[in-house]
């Protein structure tokens, strides 16, 4: 399994080796470590994560279960974009 994983995740390995120089065990939080090294996520959509090497993973964790609608659900993305166009931090009372 390790040789297959290494073959599919060469960019993640490079990023992990770089991270080891500045972070304990190369990760910012213990749960992010996977043996022999963690994969590095490039993007996510729905229930899937995609790493920097183009591999797809089912995300059973979903942000500590906070993402009950999955990653980037279209209605949420639409609502966030609409609000961003109106402004972000007003510093005054607003609706």
Please write the tens of the pLDDT for every residue from 54-70. 999 999 888 777 888 99
Other beta carbons within 10 angstroms of residue 11's beta carbon come to 15
The full set of domains in the chain, from first to last, is 2-86 (3.90.1150.10)
pLDDT value for 29: 74
What secondary structure letter does DSSP report for 48?
Answer: E
For residue 31, pLDDT over 70 is answered with no
Give the pLDDT of residue 25.
Answer: 82
Q: What is the pLDDT of residue 76?
A: 94
- Alpha carbon distance, N-terminus to C-terminus of the chain: 54
Q: Return the sign of the alpha-carbon dihedral for residues 75, 80, 86, 91.
A: positive
Question: Who's near 8: CB < 8 A, 6+ residues apart?
Answer: 53, 55
pLDDT of residue 9: 95
> In the predicted model, is pLDDT for residue 83 greater than 70?
yes
Q: How many CB atoms lie within 10 A of CB 84?
A: 9
């Amino acid at each position: 399994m390790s040789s297959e994983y290494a073959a599919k995740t060469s960019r993640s390995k490079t990023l992990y080796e770089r991270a080891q120089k500045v972070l304990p065990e190369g990760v910012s939080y213990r749960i992010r470590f996977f043996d022999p090294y963690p994969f590095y996520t490039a993007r996510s959509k729905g229930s899937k994560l995609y790493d920097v090497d183009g591999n797809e993973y089912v995300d059973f964790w979903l942000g500590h279960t906070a993402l009950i609608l999955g990653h980037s659900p279209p209605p949420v993305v639409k609502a966030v974009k609409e609000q961003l166009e109106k402004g972000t931090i007003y510093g005054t009372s607003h609706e």
